Amino acid sequence: MIYRLLAINIDGTLLKSNGKLSRETKEAIEYVRNKDVYITLVTSRNFPSAKKVAKALKLDSYLITHSGAFIAKTLDEPLFESRFSEEKTFNIVQVLETYNCSIRLVHERFSIGNRVKQKGNLMGKIIANSNDPLFYPIQFVQSLSDQLVDFPVAAPKIEVYFSTKEEMLEVKDIISKSFPEVNIVEAYDVMFEITPGVASKEQGLRRLSDHLGIALEETVVIADSMSDIPMIAAAGLGVAMWNSPFEVKKAADWVTRSNDHDGVAYMIKEHFRKQQRIEFLRKITKQ
């Protein structure tokens, strides 16, 4: 099988635990790009944050961001975008605010969250370690629903953080029953993401591969989280990181090293070293 599209998750996969890109990973990305393989990043991050990582890798490709709700090369010209209506965003926030949870509306141009004191403060830690660009505004308000009355937002993604997993599961069940048309994905033990029903990482990969004219069988996915399982299973070659949960490894065709041991670089060297440049292969088949 000749693989023409490589889709890589960012956090826990491409980046080390300290949030850095290793030299080996950068060299591996350059290596596979020189074989005419199209490389995309698939992430729950906002577009500006993902674009920052892509720039460090010298990638100018479409990026699948906001867990599949925003696919673009540039901020102003998305290939695909899906967002909750202003009314639906408000309604979901109203239900969430009846519980002790931190809520973050993640837009492609900014994020806005409520001020809730929680044990562990996972939301604060994630935002602090996200390496969001300086030009990506992050705002906190006392009441999100009050803010939305005066300044409505049509959000592509809503992140919700809790103090305990029990609280998270309880509210997840309530949101699922109240809004059956949305996607809810557990990103951490005490956090879930809400996206429009037509948006997911797997659906984002399908949309991009269709746009590029590349079959899913010609796609390699490297990822590490539970939300990546459908995408890993749909790819021609699904690869899980060693630091992935067991369920992710079980869904994969191959397991590489951990993100702290250059698992992406190792996988690329193992699976792409025998593959000739795609343009060269085209010339051979035409002879």
For residue range 110-134, list pLDDT tens digits in order: 999 998 766 665 555 555 555 566 5
- Helix, strand, coil shares, percent, the chain, to 5: 40, 20, 35
Instruction: Give the pLDDT score at 276.
Output: 63
Minimal CA–CA distance to 92: which of 145, 164, 139, 138? Answer: 145
Instruction: Give the pLDDT score at 118.
Output: 60
* Residues in the chain, pLDDT under 70: 117-135, 276, 278-287
Torsion of CA 205, 209, 214, 216, to 10 degrees: 30
Instruction: Give the pLDDT score at 245.
Output: 94
d(CA 261, CA 271): 17
Across the strands, what pairs with 41? 8
Minimal CA–CA distance to 80: which of 92, 72, 90? Answer: 72
Instruction: Give the pLDDT score at 117.
Output: 67
> Residue 34 burial (CB < 10 Å; 0-12/13-18/19+)?
exposed
CA triplet 11, 103, 147: central angle to 5 degrees?
130
Instruction: Give the pLDDT score at 250.
Output: 97
Instruction: Give the pLDDT score at 150.
Output: 94
